[in-house]
Structures are given as C-alpha cells and as structure tokens.
Amino acid sequence: MTDGEVLLALTEQDLAIARAEKALDELPEKLAVLQLRKRLREIEVVRERAAAYCRKTEALIARANDEATTLQNKIDVEQAKVLSGDISNPKELQNLTREMDALKRRKDAVEFEELGLMEKSESGSAQLAKVDAALAEGVAKEQALIAEFKSKGGELQTEIGHMREARERLAAQLAPALGSQYEALRGSKHGIAAGELKGGLCSACRTQIPSHEVQAIMAGPEIAECPNCKRLLIVRVEA
C-alpha cells in the first residue's frame, strides 16, 4: 500500500472506531443505568432527610423520657416528705401538696408530648422503611442493567479492541513524520485528518476546488494539502 492508501484506510478505520464507540455510549442499557443512578441519588437524598427526621424524633423522645423520670423522682421525694410525718405545719404541708400537683401536671404534659413524638417516630420509621425498600429495589435493578450492558457492551468493546489493533498495524506503516502529522490533524479536525481528491472535490470537507488548483495538485506528489480544510489530500488520477 502507498502512503496515500494507508492514510485513507487509517481514516476509514478511525471513523469506524468512532462510530463503534458512539454506539457503545448510546446503548439503551447504559442510558438506563445513568438515568437510574440519577434517580437513586434523589432517593438517597430523601432517605437522608427521613433518617435525620427519625434521629431528631428519637432524641426528643429520649429527652422527654428523661424529663418524665426526673419529675417522677421529685414527686417521690416530695411524697416521702408528706408521708414521713415529720412535717406537721399545715401551711408547709399545703405547699408541698401544691408543688406535688404542679410536678404531676408537668409530668402528664411531658408524657402526652412523648406519646405524640412516639407516633411521629413510628410514622417516620415506616416512611424510612419504604425509602429503603425503594432504594434496595433500585440497586437490584441497577445491577441487572449493568449485567445487560456488560453483555451487549462487551461484544462492542471486543470489536473495538480488534479495530484498534488493526488501526495500529496501519499506523505503523507510515513514516514517523507523516504519522505525527496525521495524528495532529486528527486532533484538530474533528477526527478526520485526510481526504481523497475526487472529481475536483475534497472528500473530507466536500468543497469544490478550483480547476487550476486541481491541476496543480494532480501534478504534484501523491499526498497534498486541501486548500480549503488544510487536511491531508490524497491525489487520485481519474481514469
């Protein structure tokens, strides 16, 4: 193969690899995995909020329970004073009784509040369980989709690997300077570094080249430069 033929074959191989990689990126299973992962992140945010709500409610329940215990201890102390018989002053007994009544009212209020918090905690825990179930279901579905993607994508990846090996064999046939020029143009020209002169057109940019320039190009070396897109231009003499 001439250098021009190698460049054209290399260009076709690079385009084929690009198409295969695009097909790999656009596999429905891959898109489904990406969409599902976005949904899972949203569910995880909801889960963290639900878990935070449960933690806050449990903390409030614990605080209410501690306060109720403290109040009961105070009530027991005051009641022990009354029952001891050591206090005979009616006014002092009356004050103790009033204080005990106030402590009992406060304890009843705290216990009522605690019951409300326990209901909220149960509701929050039930909600958290639902979120956890949805998250577990999503993770299982994600694993299934990944397995499908690996199955279908694996075939494409193997094909791409073979295509890359063939590409490297083609590239190895070029002189280092020409190979470097090709790679530089490929990087700056959207992956297409070379075109063929056909009927006065550059096959890469599809631009009609003036006839006098075509004549000059055809009179020159096999590999020229497209005057329009500046890619490598492989000269073909038409029969």
Q: Report d(CA 234, CA 196) in Å as an integer.
A: 5
Residue-wise pLDDT tens digits, 174-210: 999 999 999 999 999 999 999 999 989 999 999 999 9
Residue-wise pLDDT tens digits, 23-71: 988 888 888 999 999 999 999 999 999 999 999 999 999 999 999 999 9
Question: Where in the chain are the domains?
Answer: 3-171, 176-234
Q: Report d(CA 125, CA 51) in Å as an integer.
A: 8
Tell me, which fold does domain 3-171 have in CATH?
Helix Hairpins (1.10.287)
Question: Can you give the pLDDT at residue 236?
Answer: 67
Closest by CA to 139, choosing from 49, 52, 44, 54, is 44
pLDDT tier at 152, thresholds 50, 70, 90: confident
Encoding tokens for residue 11?
């260009």
Least confident of 40-54, 144-158, 211-225: 144-158
Average pLDDT along the chain = 92
Query: Is the model's pTM score more than 0.75?
Result: no
- Angle, CA of 211, 214 and 218, to the nearest 5°: 145
Residue-wise pLDDT tens digits, 65-96: 999 999 999 999 988 988 887 877 888 888 98
**Strands, DSSP E only, in the chain?**
194-198, 201-202, 223-225, 232-234
